[in-house]
Amino acid sequence: MADFMTSTHKTKWIYTPQDIKHKYKVANQRAKQALEMFGTTRMEVDIDGTFSYAESQNDAKDNAEKRPKPLKVEEEQLLRAFYEFKIQDVCDAFKFPRKIQATALIYFKRFYLLWSVMEHHPKDIMLTCIYAACKAEENHVSAEELGKGIGQDHHVILNNEMLVFQSLGFDLIAYAPYRALEGFISDLEEFCGAQDDDQLVALKGALDTARIEADKIMRSDGPLLFPPGQLALAALHRANAAHGIFDFERSQSLSHLDRSTIIR
């Protein structure tokens, strides 16, 4: 089984907030420069992953007033956030496992560390990331089936596939917080000696809520900033705030006396 500590996820795709901010700014500036030079920012992508900007227009400067205004970095962020919601919606509609949803989101986030939404439309990249995640997680679905299911041209998915893989550096193994969540709950069951039905039901409720909280975290910059284990702990902490099941502070002082008292 792959190990996160030796994975490319850890060595290449965990950043500081300053790194992420800089990458978004660089991509945004490049798209703005393309708009000034060519009068457009959109790239044409071939199925082999090659891409090209539109040819320079002789009257590009003369038509400056007609030229669309470039997006700000903050506006790009809002657009990415919208399509991250859509990724989860599409995965839910196809009843894909959470692992596929999380992998698609991670691919999408990594892609737009390199590119601006003005260069590659997030609607197209969203679909390709879902398709790529299905491949990586060995949950086969054809591009035709995926495109038909949401009323989109499947050729767009295939045309962008190699571009997405190249932008990811072909690092396709991604780690999500959901397995760690299940492990933490299992450890708590054993540590607390949870045996009666009420305790088990309480822990299951905490796990269900923590999964929902993890879904929210996956739409943030968290997956680019922290390892999945920390994301899982954050989700579990939020779930506990909602349920009030665990007394973590008390557990530190009572763990050597009566572990069952950790569960309220």
Number of domains in the chain: 2
Please say whether the beta carbons of 82 and 149 come within 8 A. no
Looking up residue 190, the CATH number of its domain turns out to be 1.10.472
* Terminal CA-CA length for the chain: 36
Mean pLDDT, the chain, integer: 84
Within a 13 Å sphere around the CA of 153, how many CA atoms are in the beta-carbon half?
5
**Range in 154-158, 202-206, 233-237 with the lowest mean pLDDT:** 202-206
Mean pLDDT of 53-78: 71
Residues 90 and 54 in one domain: yes
Domain boundary among 148, 167, 186: 167
Q: State which residues form the domain around 252.
A: 178-262
Domain contains 201 = yes
Per-residue pLDDT tens digits for 98-108:
999 999 999 99
Per-residue pLDDT tens digits for 7-53:
999 999 999 999 999 999 999 999 998 888 877 776 666 666 566 65
- pTM summary value: 0.86
The sign of the dihedral angle between the CA atoms of 130, 135, 138, 143 is: positive
Please say whether the beta carbons of 167 and 114 come within 8 A. yes
